[in-house]
């Protein structure tokens, strides 16, 4: 039988600490050459919605130790509104009943069968957070107690959970441009994690004196700058442009998630010039020497050193995610779901065939 899981099911199966542990194990396998990652592919075309484009995204990976392979597929309507003069990348819930479309297909590496199908939302947020958490585990000071969160959206909560999973965070200051959003974020997460959460009016107020700074926005421009760096600080981003390259270059240690960055976007000939609204990834990569930077895999494998002194300034660029993350985490979630009786089973014959493909 093939298991159909919901986002609610996924949220019940793995904690943030689980994700951190799973990915550390899985990345060790990948560093040893015992895993496969295919770079993400993005294809863009016109859509009927004014000011939007249609995007088809896919990524896959194989995690043999976990006995699973996964394909992540997103069918998106994408807009680029400006907030404070800076464009943001925003997916519109345009499917029936105002919903987004993202699916993970999990396969067995033992016999090829489809093990599970589930939406990608809950797991994608947690694996982004857990990857940043691994960066903080190796690069943030052991005695880090105060954190700054720049952003108050969907990803910001996962970044906070990950920091709390790897460090004993006691106090957090949050800035985002919308006062109501940052205030509600602090109320929600202060209660959930039992941490002192304070909304603040500026980025500078949030980051001053922070041991750890987590950028977690949808901005396609810089939100953290060189003058904000302080001795002993660890700063991370979930989008390459969030941290100004001058700040990245000033840091004593800089690591990235992976070198499997997405290939150039495929576009139809009648699409508008997307370079103006797809962020500054290329310029940032050139400015920081992206292709020469060590990865979190190097840290886990011991091929590179993490923090060695309390006053070092460290930086982790959590660039493009991979289908490999969904293979490893999906495999563990699938086995727990079977044990707990979660999800809905459908005949595997519905998803297989007796005709040679």
pLDDT over 60 at 305, yes or no: yes
Q: Mean of the pLDDT values across residues 154-169? A: 97
97: left (phi over 0), alpha (psi -120 to 50) or beta: left
What confidence category does residue 64 fall into, taking pLDDT thresholds of 50, 70 and 90?
very high
Q: Mean of the pLDDT values across residues 187-203? A: 97
What confidence category does residue 19 fall into, taking pLDDT thresholds of 50, 70 and 90?
very high
Percent of the chain with pLDDT strictly greater than 90: 87
Instruction: Provide the CB-side half-sphere exposure for 102 (13 A, CA).
Output: 21
Using only C-alpha atoms, what is the Rg of the chain? 20
Domains 2-123+322-350 and 125-317 share a fold: no
Assign domain 125-317 to its CATH architecture. Answer: 3-Layer(aba) Sandwich (3.40)
DSSP type of residue 136 = H
CATH topology of domain 2-123+322-350: ornithine cyclodeaminase, domain 1 (3.30.1780)
Longest dimension (CA), the chain: 63
Residue 262 is predicted with a pLDDT of 63
Number of DSSP helices (H) and strands (E) in the chain, helices first: 10, 18
Q: Which of 80-94, 101-115, 186-200, 235-249 is predicted with the least confidence, judged by mean pLDDT?
A: 80-94
The whole-chain average pLDDT of the chain stands at 94
Domain ranges of the chain: 2-123+322-350, 125-317
Phi, psi of 86 (to 5 degrees): -115, 125
CB 96 within 8 A of CB 144: no
Question: What are 61's two structure tokens?
Answer: 């990976």
How many whole angstroms separate alpha carbon 157 and alpha carbon 248?
24
Q: Is 170 exposed, middle or buried (0-12, 13-18, 19+ CB in 10 A)?
A: middle
Question: What are 59's two structure tokens?
Answer: 């990524």
Residue 89 is predicted with a pLDDT of 84
pLDDT over 90 at 63, yes or no: yes
Could you count the other beta carbons within 10 Å of the beta carbon of residue 282? 14
CB 28 within 8 A of CB 35: no
Q: Mean of the pLDDT values across residues 5-13? A: 98
How many whole angstroms separate alpha carbon 102 and alpha carbon 127?
15
| Secondary structure of residue 295 in the 3-state scheme | strand
pLDDT over 90 at 272, yes or no: no
Residue 85 is predicted with a pLDDT of 72
Residue 312 is predicted with a pLDDT of 98
How many whole angstroms separate alpha carbon 176 and alpha carbon 350?
46
How many whole angstroms separate alpha carbon 298 and alpha carbon 166?
19
pLDDT tens-digit series, residues 220-264: 889 999 999 999 999 999 999 999 999 999 999 999 999 877 666
Percent of the chain with pLDDT strictly greater than 70: 97
Query: Which tops the pLDDT comparison, 303 or 283?
Result: 303
How many whole angstroms separate alpha carbon 210 and alpha carbon 171?
9
Beta-bridge mates of residue 52: 79
Q: Is 25 exposed, middle or buried (0-12, 13-18, 19+ CB in 10 A)?
A: middle
pTM of the predicted protein model: 0.94
């Amino acid at each position: 039988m093939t298991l159909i899981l919901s986002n609610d099911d996924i949220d019940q199966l793995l904690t943030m600490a689980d994700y951190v542990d799973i990915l550390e194990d899985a990345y060790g396998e990948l560093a040893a050459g015992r895993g496969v990652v295919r770079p993400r592919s993005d294809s863009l075309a016109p859509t009927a919605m004014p000011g939007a484009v249609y995007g088809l995204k896919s990524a896959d990976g194989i995690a043999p130790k976990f006995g699973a392979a996964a394909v992540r597929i997103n069918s998106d309507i994408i807009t680029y509104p400006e907030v404070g003069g800076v464009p943001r990348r925003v997916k519109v819930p345009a499917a029936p009943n105002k919903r987004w479309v993202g699916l993970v297909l999990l396969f067995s590496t033992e016999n090829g069968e489809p093990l599970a199908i589930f939406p990608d939302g809950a797991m994608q947020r947690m694996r982004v957070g857990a990857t940043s958490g691994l960066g903080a585990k190796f690069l943030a000071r052991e005695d880090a107690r105060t954190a700054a969160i720049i952003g108050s959206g969907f990803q910001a909560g996962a970044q906070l959970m990950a920091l709390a999973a790897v460090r004993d965070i006691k106090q957090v200051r949050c800035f985002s441009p919308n006062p109501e959003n940052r205030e509600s974020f602090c109320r929600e997460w202060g209660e959930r994690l039992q941490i002192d959460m304070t909304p603040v009016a500026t980025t500078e107020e949030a980051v001053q004196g922070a041991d750890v700074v987590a950028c977690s926005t949808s901005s396609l421009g810089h939100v953290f700058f060189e003058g904000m760096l302080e001795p002993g600080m660890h700063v991370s981003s979930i989008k390459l442009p969030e941290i100004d390259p001058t700040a990245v270059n000033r840091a004593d240690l800089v690591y990235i998630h992976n070198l499997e960055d997405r290939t150039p976007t495929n576009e139809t000939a009648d699409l508008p010039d997307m370079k103006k609204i797809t962020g500054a990834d290329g310029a940032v990569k050139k400015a920081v020497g992206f292709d020469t930077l060590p990865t979190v895999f190097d840290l886990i494998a011991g091929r590179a050193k993490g923090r060695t002194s309390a006053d070092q300034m460290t930086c982790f660029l959590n660039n493009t995610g991979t289908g490999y993350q969904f293979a490893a985490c999906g495999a563990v979630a699938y086995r727990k779901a079977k044990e707990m009786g979660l999800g809905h089973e459908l005949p595997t014959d519905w998803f297989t065939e007796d005709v040679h493909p």
